[in-house]
Structure 1
Amino acid sequence: MPQNTQIESCPPPKATPIDASRIGLPSAQGLYHPKNEHDACGVGFVAHIKGKKSHAIIQQGLKILENLDHRGAVGADKLMGDGAGILIQIPDTLYRDELSQQGIILPPPGEYGVAMVFLPKETASRLACEQELERSVRAEGQVVLGWRNVPVDVDMPMSPAVRACEPVIRQLFIGRGDDV
């Protein structure tokens, strides 16, 4: 490419200013500013600004999820969805109790992470994937603490096409390495 050639790009779209008071948005406060409001069909976010835990937050997240049907969270086949879900804080007490039954003692909260892993049904492929994940974790200086099988509702109505390729869902628990 010649040195004097310029690559032109499209200018970014101009956002229309929002009159927050006119549409019922709160005024700017703390980390919130109404100028950041925009459409994001298919995405919902609920949190307590100070990190307070609350079951109401989960209920609100589930309500958002229910309201996503319009964006394609389900297809023409009502038994076939896109796997939309909610992300919540690590349920430390649950994991601590379940993993202790396997003889795994978790470090304090904040000192470990959990990887949600979708694995092949076929045993040899699944084991190869698990071994590679563990190798990668160790190569990054982190600690493999153990695995947990994620309970699934096998009696849930499901499209045969989905059931045929349903993955094995496991969680890999990763401890903080010394250098982190």
Structure 2
Amino acid sequence: MNHSALPPKQGLYDPQNEHDACGVGFIVHIKGQKNHAIIEQGLEILKNLTHRGAVGADPLAGDGAGILIQIPDSFIRAECKFTLPPVNKYGIGMVFLPRIAENRTACENIITKIIIAEGQSIIGWRDVPTSNAGLGEDVKAIEPVVRQIFIQNNCADQDSFERKLFVIRKIIEHAVENELKLDKAHFYIPSFSSRTLLYKGMLLAGQVGDYYLDLQDKRMVSALALVHQRFSTNTFPTWDLAQPFRMICHNGEINTLRGNVNWMAARRHSMASELLGDDLAKIWPLIDEGQSDSACFDNALELLV
């Protein structure tokens, strides 16, 4: 069985009817103090949500799980082989890249070209250390290459930079799909921010901390952790549809999904933003086809926030 993409409409099955029902949790230090215990407790919450997930015929193949944390600046500085600007003056893109080297290079070239075209600077790339020893064979077959790209903040302030990163990510996603004909099963950006970092994948709840070796390092600190264990009730598990997403964790089951997506598309030419300005036109289509209901909601919420 191949979970790299949703099957086409056939018989009684229609991918537009996709829903999910999942387990979510979070922990936060109310005074904003960052420590590794928050990450450990977030992963413990995730393990306690195992019953909210599902597995395939292979007991090592899960529907997806992940954890969203704040950028651990000290850890990142120690691990990177290049000099970083001060805190809040750089952003990190967590990127799922194709396993085929030629396609991976093409994706990286598009990312580089667009970041520079949008007035920002690339500081460097980092290979994210992972261990797939505990993954099922079906999951390994579609496992992406995980890398982080570091972008220098050339905007007036951090809020402006966050908006620019949002726009850049949308442009990159559309360019990769249109130019390389690669869908989100082969190229995906889990997070692209100067504030947060997202570790997720087609993993079981207990596999997240084992797969991403960064999460085991005591220097990894955060004042918050948002976790999600996916249960694909009507949806096929894929690496990109694992949660958290960039803004939310969500249980799915949005019965008005098709209408909401259509209304967002219909509002396109009546929308204006003082903050985004001309960049607003660069992000469309805002909501891509073939996503889960929760992913569509996350796309819409990003624009509103």
Establish whether TM, by shorter chain, passes 0.5.
yes
Distance in 2, Cα, partners of 1:157 & 1:128 = 30
Are the aligned partners of 1:73 and 1:84 in contact in 2 as well (CA < 8 Å)? no
Number of residue-to-residue matches in the alignment:
137
Q: Which has the higher helix share?
A: 2
In the TM superposition, what are the counterparts of 1:82-121 in structure 2 within 5 Å?
A: 82-99=63-80, 101=81, 104-121=82-99
* Cα distance in structure 2, aligned partners of 1:111 and 1:152: 27
Structure 1 residue 150 corresponds to structure 2 residue 128: yes
Q: Is the 8 A contact 1:116 1:171 kept in 2?
A: yes
Does residue 167 of structure 1 match 2:144?
Answer: yes
- Residue type of the alignment partner of 2:112: E
Distance 2:52 2:145 in 1: 27
66-75 or 124-133: bigger deviation: 66-75
More strand as a share of residues = 2
Q: Is the 8 A contact 1:117 1:170 kept in 2?
A: yes
Deviations 1:100-126 (A, max 9, x none): x3xx21001111111110000000100
CA distance in structure 2 between the aligned counterparts of 1:109 and 1:75, rounded to whole angstroms: 42
Whether the aligned pair in 1 keeps the contact of 2:28 and 2:38 (CA below 8 Å) is yes
Give unmatched runs, 5+ long, in structure 2.
1-20, 161-305
Aligned counterpart in structure 1 of residue 47 of structure 2, from 41, 66, 91 = 66
Deviation at 1:45?
Answer: 1.4
What amino acid is aligned across from residue 69 of structure 2 in structure 1?
A: I
Counterpart in the other structure of 2:116: 138
Q: Distance in 2 between matches of 1:69 and 1:115?
A: 28
What is the CA-CA distance between 1:76 and the residue it aligns to?
4.1
Q: Does residue 52 of the first structure (1) align with residue 29 of the second (2)? A: no
**Where does the alignment leave 5 or more consecutive residues of structure 1 unmatched?**
1-39
Choose the corresponding residue for 2:101, options 120, 123, 138. Answer: 123
**SS in structure 2 at match of 1:77:** coil
1:81 corresponds in structure 2 to: 62
Letter in 2 for 1:150: V
Give CA deviations for 1:119-149 in whole Å, capped at 9, x if unaligned: 0000010011111112222222222111000
1: distance between equivalents of 2:27 and 2:120?
Answer: 31
Deviates more, 1:113-122 or 1:128-137: 128-137
Identity across the alignment (%): 56
C-alpha spacing 1:67/1:84, structure 2 compared with 1 (3 Å): same
- Give distance in 2, aligned partners of 1:74 and 1:136: 38
Q: Structure 2 vs 1, CA of residues 42 and 136 (structure 1 numbering), >3 Å: closer, same or farther?
A: farther
Per-residue CA distance 1:4-29 (angstroms, 9 max, x = gap): xxxxxxxxxxxxxxxxxxxxxxxxxx
User: Higher relative CO (CA 8 A, sep ≥ 6), structure 1 or 2?
Assistant: 2
Q: What letter is aligned with 1:50? A: K
- Name the SS for the 1:117 alignment partner: strand
Deviation at residue 161 of structure 1 after TM alignment: 1.3
1:20 corresponds to: none
